[in-house]
Amino acid sequence: MDRAARRELIETIEQQKDRIARLENRLRDVVTAYKGLAKEKEALEASIKVLNVRSEPHRTQNVEKASAGADDSSETASEASGDAQAANTGEGGAESFVDPLNATGQAESTSANQDEILHLKEQLATLTNALATVTDQKSQMEASFQADKKLIRQENENSRKLAEETQQRLEEQLAEAEEQLSQAKSRIRSQQQEREKEQTDHAMMLRELQKVLSDERASKEQLEQELFETKLKLEEKKATPDLSVEYELKMQDLSAEMERLQTRLQAAEDEAAKPAPLLLQLQEEMAEMRVHHRLQIQQEQTRANEAESRLRQLEAEREARVANLESKLAELSVVVGNYDKIRQQDQEAMEKLKERIAQLDMENTALARVANNKVQTDDPDDSNLDVHALKEKVLKLIGLMKIANERSDQPLPTEDLYTFMNPGGDDSDDSGSPVSHDKCQQEYRQLKDEFERYKMRAQSVLKNKNAKDSSVGKEIETLRGQLQELRDKHIALRQYCDEQEVKDKQKVEDLEARIARIKNEHKKELDKAEEEYRQRAAKLETEMHKQRDRTIELLAEKEKEVQTLQLRSHSPVTPYMFSNQSEGSAHSTSASPRDGRSEAGVDDDDDIRSEHSDTVSELLVRPHFTPLMVGSFSSCSVSFNQNV
């Protein structure tokens, strides 16, 4: 506002200076015209004074001469009558007497005629001098009028050309600004469409992640259910009595019974050569019991193999899920990087728009300088700052962000703030915690090696079990202990994987929150840039309207000056005509500028002729001018009109 007020004050001062200069030029013209009129007035007053002084004694002399002539004629008539009477009465043949007074009257009449001729010659010389002075002044006025007329026409033509060029330039700049505004609007619209598309893509990605998470939860619940069922089965197996012990007891009983039967058989062999059917039945039962025992051992082995394969499958699924999460984290990091690139591109586009707006402001100020003939300086924009100033501003904004984070009710974690300030920092923010993954892999390898060793032991035990049926119970106990240890380790690994899953989920949520925060910040910056661009465009439009109004006012003022100069060039000589000039100027200023401009170039000669005819008519009205002076003035005006 201060800058605008100062600019308006400077423009007002410039307008007043121009007005003072125009008034000074007008005053100079008025002074020169007044000097010319004073010279004409002095010449005319001298001629009038001479004519008045010479005419009065001439009239008195004529009257005296006329009265003297009448007396002389009466005297001569009486004398002639007396002489006639004397001649009639007196002597004849006497010579006639010549009166000397008559001769003196004739001499006086000739001298009076000569004086009158001299007086007329003096009057003629005075009138010729006055006419020469008037014609010189008229010629000077005409020359100055023609020069002023040419100058005014040239200035009018130059101002008209300048106004047309300025109008054309303003229209071109307005068209260019409108085109740039339309381009900026289309660019902003396309960017908004891209942002909406990105938002829809992110929403789809989040839905897919939620779907994957729900699938993982379902699989986790299913695995927990299977684990619970296996635990129930193991507890049921533990609750059931051990068949091997029963079989051993049965085998011992059977062996004792067999011994008894052998003794009986040995005793009965003596009695009969053929074996008894009971012995055959017992042998068949023993074979069936052995087959059943082997089948149970094979079933336990298959169950152990199934548990081992299921454990492997769980580990493979866990590894696949970890790899999938890592790939998703990598994709999210790529998306965040692309979003940062797009944000940088938007910032560059906004900087370019700011530079273009600053350039338009500079061009507008240049036009104002050309129109007002004044060099005005503008303060530098933020776009003209150097790298150090921008760095200071960025550091200041980071400090303000830290202070706002400390004062906020829900502050951001320091890790997110550090990653926001250092987007290209440590790799642990993007790829998770590699130390924990290495530890998990190391434990997995150790468990795998132990499992392989246990497997080899189980295989060796199973091989030796066929040879040593007595050590089956001990090996089963060792296998159960190893299986329990593996279950405990599996539970520990399951808990560790759940903790890692919770951590990864927390990281994903943090990344999503960061993406949402970056989107909000980018939206705010975009809205701010749009608002600044709208304000600058409105300011530029108002300045263009002001410039157009100033140009129109300047053209109207030039037209008024042309009209006043035309009226001043048409002004008459005498103060009486000066009053007519003021009335005519008042009447002409009430007319429209367009009519004055159209009639100025067509009726100049008619106006000059009408003014000279008015001057002659006014001279006829004046009582001090004789018909001879009026005739000379009329002839001079006719010659002047012919020259014009």
- How far is it, in rounded angstroms, from Cα 40 to Cα 35? 9
Higher pLDDT, 102 or 585: 102
Query: What is the model's pLDDT at position 365?
Result: 75
AA letter at 156: N
Average pLDDT over residues 474-502: 76
What would the two tokens of residue 526 be? 């975009």
Q: Which two tokens stand for residue 276?
A: 């008894």
Helix (H) or strand (E) holding 642: helix 627-643
pLDDT at residue 361 greater than cutoff 80: no
Do residues 232 and 240 make contact, with C-beta atoms less than 8 angstroms apart? no
Taking residues 532-555, report their average pLDDT.
Answer: 82
Helix, strand, coil shares of the chain, percent, nearest 5, are 90, 0, 10
Q: Give the residue-averaged pLDDT of 244-269.
A: 71
Please say if the pLDDT value at position 599 is more than 50.
no
Q: Is residue 476 scored above 70 in pLDDT?
A: no
Cβ–Cβ < 8 Å for 197, 335:
no
Q: What percentage of the chain reaches a pLDDT higher than 90?
A: 0
The pLDDT-based confidence of 20 (bands split at 50, 70, 90) is: very high
pLDDT value at 596 more than 50 = no
Question: Quick one: tokens of 296?
Answer: 């149970």
Residue 600 belongs to a domain:
yes
The predicted pLDDT at position 276 comes to 56
Asked if the structure places residue 364 within a domain, the reply is: no
pLDDT higher than 70, residue 548: yes
* Of 167-181, 335-349, 449-463, 590-604, highest mean pLDDT: 167-181
Burial class (CB in 10 A: 0-12, 13-18, 19+), 395: exposed
Distances 466 to 105, 290, 463 between C-alpha atoms, Å: 200, 11, 6
- Residue 395 is predicted with a pLDDT of 74
Q: What is the residue type of 238?
A: K
**What's the start-to-end Cα distance of the chain, in Å?**
58
pLDDT (0 to 100) of residue 375: 41
Q: What is the pLDDT of residue 92?
A: 42
Question: How sure is the predictor about 643, in pLDDT bands with cuts at 50, 70 and 90?
Answer: very low
One-letter amino acid identity for 436?
S
Taking alpha carbons only, the member of 41, 21, 31 closest to residue 577 is 41
Token reading at 588: 């002409």
Structure tokens at 218: 């379902």
Q: What is the pLDDT of residues 258-312, one digit of tens each?
A: 677 677 777 766 766 555 566 677 678 777 877 877 787 788 778 778 877 887 8
Number of independent structural domains in the chain: 1
Helix, coil or strand: residue 21: helix
From 64-73, 235-244, 538-547, the region with the lowest mean pLDDT? 64-73
CB 174 within 8 Å of CB 360: no
Q: Which residue has the higher pLDDT, 576 or 147?
A: 147
Whether the pLDDT of residue 462 is over 80: the answer is no
Q: Is the pLDDT of residue 48 over 60?
A: yes
Count of CB atoms situated within 10 Å of the CB of 15: 15
Q: For residue 205, is it within any domain?
A: no
In angstroms, rounded to a whole number, what is the distance separating the alpha carbons of residues 10 and 8? Answer: 5
Higher pLDDT among residues 470 and 378, named by residue: 470
Sole residue written with tokens 């500079």: 362
pLDDT surpasses 80 at 214: yes
Q: Which residue has the higher pLDDT, 371 or 527?
A: 527
Look up residue 68 and give its two tokens: 């003297």
When pLDDT is averaged across residues 544-573 and rounded to a whole number, the result is 78
Structure tokens at 135: 């014609």
Measured distance CA(121)–CA(164) in Å, rounded: 62
Once rounded to an integer, what is the mean pLDDT over residues 58-71?
A: 47
- Domain assignment present for residue 594? The answer is yes
**pLDDT of 341 over the 70 cut:** yes
Q: What confidence score (pLDDT) does residue 37 get? A: 81
| Cβ proximity of 540 and 360 under 8 Å | yes
Helices vs strands, H then E, count in the chain: 13, 0
**Are the C-beta atoms of 370 and 376 separated by less than 8 Å?**
no
Lowest mean pLDDT among 73-82, 291-300, 307-316, 531-540: 73-82
Any domain includes 500: no
How far is it, in rounded angstroms, from Cα 423 to Cα 338? 12
CB neighbours of residue 533 within 10 Å: 19
pLDDT higher than threshold 60 for residue 453: yes
Domain span at residue 605?
Answer: 570-644
Reference 569, options 636, 644, 621, 642; nearest CA is: 644
| pLDDT above 80 (res 509) | yes
10 Å CB burial of residue 442 (0-12, 13-18, 19+) is: exposed
- Please report whether residue 607 resides in a domain: yes
In this predicted structure, which of 57-61, 66-70, 117-121, 360-364 has the lowest mean pLDDT?
66-70
Determine the pLDDT at residue 629: 44
623 located within any domain: yes
Q: What is the mean pLDDT of residues 338-363?
A: 78
Mean pLDDT, range 60-82, rounded to an integer: 45
Asked if the structure places residue 117 within a domain, the reply is no
**What's the predicted TM-score (pTM) here?**
0.23
Quote the CA–CA distance of 54 and 416 in Å, as a whole number. 118
Residue 573 burial class via C-beta count within 10 angstroms: exposed 0-12, middle 13-18, buried 19 and up? buried
> Among 140-149, 493-502, 634-643, which is the least confidently predicted range?
634-643
